[in-house]
Amino acid sequence: MSQADVVWRRRQRRETRHLLVSVLPGALWIFIFLVLPSAYLMSVAFMTNGGFGQPQMPLTLDAFRNLAGFGFLGWSPGNLYTLWRSIFQSVISLALVVLVAYPVAWYISLCRPRLRAIMLLAVVVPSWTNQVIRAFGWMNLLSPGTPLSSLAEKMGLIAPNMGLFPSDFAVTLGLVYNFLPFMVLPLYAAFEKLDHAQIEAARDLYASPLRTFFVAVLPQTLPGLLAGSVLVAIPAFGMYVIPELLGGGRSQMLGNLVASQFGEAANWPLGAAGALLMLLATLMGLFILRRMGRRLGGGTEMVI
């Protein structure tokens, strides 16, 4: 073996050691705090519920049957209603977030650079506050006797002396407020790359504003829309704090169902099955985003 080969091998071993030193802490962190808990959660979902709620052998699919509504008293649609409410709330919240975020991101992208930074900061700063504190703020704003509740009462939207909180409306409003920055930022990044020549060409061809949006704006901002949709819909699907506080226990979603099974309901396998369902929904959303990103030529990955 020549001297050059020896030097090259030493260099390779040194680079390998440096790589292990830099990667190993992060890999251990992910393995200990993500992989192991997820593996344990998956195993608990297939165990039998013990007398005090703790999982025990033998392995069974009872937790998934209970999640589908089948129990020792027969079939009950309660859990399916919770699942449907989670899907409905996440879809409605996503649609409202998109309707609000598009004009906001468009306006910010047209501002002067200095003002643009201030407006982006104004969008992001509320998310720095604890989610529970923000939810309590909305509880105070929507309680009976507040201006918003009084206005809704005068318009006949709610019964007298009944506030907008707790209600499904309060939950939807809280979800939209909470996840709006997660849609504005990807859309803003997409608007930054917008080719305004296409918009001008559509206007020169006498396209209506709506037609211009669907032909010239939406295709260019679709990567940002897809990225924001994943960042909004998946967390909203498993949200716990907002339905618990703004719903007043009457608008239970999948996250509340999972939390109750690990708490007062004392059914860890059922809670693990619900958590596994949320994990699968997350992976499915990321898989769909990746497939659509490939069709768009990798634009979605760039936005993320």
Show pLDDT as tens, one digit a residue, over the chain (304 residues).
566 666 677 788 877 777 788 888 888 899 998 889 888 888 888 988 877 777 888 888 888 888 888 876 666 787 888 888 888 999 999 999 999 999 999 999 888 888 988 999 999 988 888 889 999 999 989 888 888 888 888 888 888 878 888 888 899 999 999 999 999 999 999 998 888 888 888 888 888 888 888 888 888 888 889 889 888 988 898 888 899 898 887 778 888 888 888 887 788 888 888 888 888 888 887 787 777 767 765 444 444 4
Q: Where are the domains of the chain?
A: 3-62, 71-296
Q: CA dist 227 to 52, 186, 207, 222, Å?
A: 42, 7, 28, 9
Q: Which two tokens stand for residue 172?
A: 């939807």
Q: Is-contact 212 203, C-beta < 8 A? A: yes
Of 235, 249, 256, the residue nearest 127 (C-alpha) = 235
pLDDT at 48: 86
Question: Nearest-5° angle of CA 186, CA 187, CA 189?
Answer: 65
Question: Nearest-5° angle of CA 216, CA 219, CA 220?
Answer: 80
11: CB partners within 8 A, 6+ apart: none
Other residues' Cβ atoms within 10 Å of the Cβ of residue 232 = 27
6 by Cβ neighbours in 10 Å (0-12 / 13-18 / 19+) ranks as exposed
Q: Is-contact 257 263, C-beta < 8 A? A: no
Q: Which two tokens stand for residue 181?
A: 């920055």
pLDDT at 107: 92
Domain 71-296 is found in CATH 1.10.3720.10: yes
Q: Which two tokens stand for residue 8?
A: 């090259």
Backbone angles phi, psi at 186, to 5 degrees: -65, -35
State pTM to two decimals. Answer: 0.82
The 3-class secondary structure across 241-257, one letter per residue, is: HHHHHHCCCCCCCHHHH
Q: Which two tokens stand for residue 159?
A: 């019964």
177: CB partners within 8 A, 6+ apart: 126, 134, 138
SS3 63: helix
Cα–Cα distance between 23 and 27 in angstroms, integer? 6
Q: CA dist 10 to 3, 14, 17, 22, Å?
A: 11, 6, 11, 18
pLDDT at 97: 95
Cα–Cα distance between 245 and 146 in angstroms, integer? 18
- Number of C-alpha atoms within 13 angstroms, CB side, residue 67? 24
Cα–Cα distance between 104 and 111 in angstroms, integer? 11
pLDDT at 301: 44
Cα–Cα distance between 159 and 165 in angstroms, integer? 12
pLDDT at 304: 43
